[in-house]
Amino acid sequence: DTEVTQTPKHLVMGMTNKKSLKCEQHMGHRAMYWYKQKAKKPPELMFVYSYEKLSINESVPSRFSPECPNSSLLNLHLHALQPEDSALYLCASSRGGLAGTDTQYFGPGTRLTVL
């Protein structure tokens, strides 16, 4: 299995809602990532988990809360978002650690619209 899967594909939420994005991989990878991508822009790194520990947090607002329940799963909890948070949220995974070969494989993304 060489796929990263994400659910849901689309999400529309109000500014007072609480929702979660989910990501899953079964490649045995030990690093997982959340990126935010606005239209016509490159993906921007939000969070990196390495061996289930948060290793990079790019000063993302606290209304985004990541969670890594185990090495195959990555969640992004959303609360009190703003309309400018509307974007494509991409999950990725890579082998991670000191083994090198850190190719990142992306999921299909969740297109989020905040009303």
Residues in contact with another protein by CB under 8 A are 31, 33, 40-45, 48, 50, 55-56, 90, 94, 96-109
Q: Which is nearer to another protein, 13 or 45 (CB)?
A: 45
Q: How many other CB atoms are there within 10 angstroms of residue 1's CB atom?
A: 8
Report residue 90 as tokens. 């991409």
The minimum distance between CB 36 and another protein, in angstroms, equals: 12
Element (H, E) at 87: strand 87-94
Minimum distance of another protein from residue 83's CB (angstroms): 21
User: Is the bond preceding 43 in cis, omega lying within 30 degrees of 0?
Assistant: no
Give least dist CB 114 to another protein, A: 19
